[in-house]
Amino acid sequence: MRTDVILLRFGEFMLKGRNRIRFENQIVQQIKRVLKPLTKAALQKESYGRMYVELNGESYSEAAKLLGKVFGLLSFSPAIKTVPEMAALEEAALLAMTRLQKRPDTFKVSVRRVNKQFPHETFELQRMLGGHVLKHFDGLKVDVHNPEVDLRVEVRHQESFVYSESVPGPGGFPLGSNGRAMLMLSGGIDSPVAGWFAMKRGLRVEAVHFHSYPYTSERAKQKVIDLTRVLADYAGSIHLHLVPFTDIQTRLKESCRENLIITLMRRAMYRITEQLADKREALAIVTGESLGQVASQTLANMNVIGRVATLPVIRPLVTMDKLEIIPIAEKINTFPISILPYEDCCTLFVPKSPSTNPSLKVVERQEQWMEEWLPEAIRAAVAGTETMLVKPDDKSEEDRLF
């Protein structure tokens, strides 16, 4: 009759009329996915929109860790589910109080009485349950304004929930509910964080990485696969597109003004990413750019580089400081991989003094001189792109798809 559950709460998207069912299906799918390792746990959905996880003996802390990876989940509460009867509520209230990590000095009971047929009115029920708890805990006092513990009791028609704690979830939108985007993923600190923010906003991302093999090593490639794997923990799986960029880079180096090579390389990257986006029916590009962070990210450079994109470019980190980005990278577990020392394709070709204020006209003129080979080289890079499906744990499941 009495079971341990986790009550789930969702963001404002769950209130949005026509899309509600779609959002709900998407989040249900994600919750079921993360809870798969806990084979006995079961997601329950009530007709009035309440959702909870029945633990059936599985560990709460394990479930809480997994739920922390479900975007759209606003908060959750470990709760006791019981029948809406007085004796059962008293028993659950006591149990909830004994389970608290630290014994409080003050508490209050807050009742939500959804079942209007329940024989006791809200205030009366609060008083009765409060009194029952007080009888069993010496020295405990009621404080209705600022209690250490707020014991919440929800009385519904078929069942009741008793809980006191609310743990914040990641928030945002259910994965995929806002469409698909291509994430330009380097091996650095920023772009994985940008990808995480994009996913949190409901975008299903596919990663695009440019490598300059053999100038960049297998280990550099593995680093990006590992970063994708960490992000895949939030999505179930992520497509990773590995683009051969050596040819374009070496030819750009031969043909353009040295201080413009980064700008031209980035424009080529955007063009390739757009072509891949078309193939994969993605409607946006996500990057880890942060205004002013390095020479290639001055406003002037962002302008000249961003001009080639026709899709919306989403830059979740654009106004963030490195010191704000790093704690997030640590929280989402990408940081230890990002700081591994393997070379990036761009650092190999960085000039002594890259332009911070390129002229769009000059850059476009340079590209006109490359008209004979650049568009074709871009098509070849797209054609030579290797795609793999990266999953969270099992390396053996990485299939070469195309």
Q: Which residues form the interface with ligand ATP (CB under 6 A)?
A: 184-186, 188-191, 208-210, 287-289, 293-294, 296-297, 344-346
Tokens of 131: 């009194």
Beta strands in 144-283 (DSSP E): 149-155, 160-163, 167-168, 180-184, 204-211, 238-244
Task: Name the pairing type of β-strands 180-184 and 204-211.
Answer: parallel
Type of residue found at 378: I
Token pair of 300 as six digits: 């002037």
Least distance from ligand ATP to the Cβ atom of residue 315, Å = 9
210 labelled ligand-binding: yes
Residue 288 near which of ligand ATP, Mg ion, none (CB within 5-8 Å, type-dependent): ligand ATP
| Binding letters toward Mg ion, positions 165-204, x by CB under 5 A | ---------------------x-x----------------
23 marked as part of a ligand binding site:
no
Is 173 assigned to a binding site? no
- Is 184 assigned to a binding site? yes
From the number of C-beta atoms within 10 Å of its C-beta (0-12, 13-18, 19+), residue 202 rates as buried
Smallest separation (angstroms) from ligand ATP to the CB of 247: 15
Judge whether 174 and 26 are in contact, CB under 8 Å.
Answer: yes
Q: How far is the CB of 210 from Mg ion (least distance, A)?
A: 11
11 annotated as a binding-site residue: no
Interaction between residue 273 and Mg ion (CB under 5 A): no
Residue 345 or 390 with smaller CB distance to ligand ATP: 345
The answer on whether 209 is annotated among ligand-binding residues is yes
3-class SS at 110?
strand
Q: Which amino acid is at 47?
A: S
DSSP annotation of 301 reads: H
In angstroms, the Cα distances linking 75 to 10, 27, 69, 210, 268 are 7, 13, 12, 37, 42
350 is a site residue for Mg ion (CB under 5 A): no
Q: How far is the CB of 395 from ligand ATP (least distance, A)?
A: 22
Interface residues toward Mg ion, by CB under 5 A: 186, 188
Annotated binding site for ATP: 184-185, 209-210, 266, 288, 297
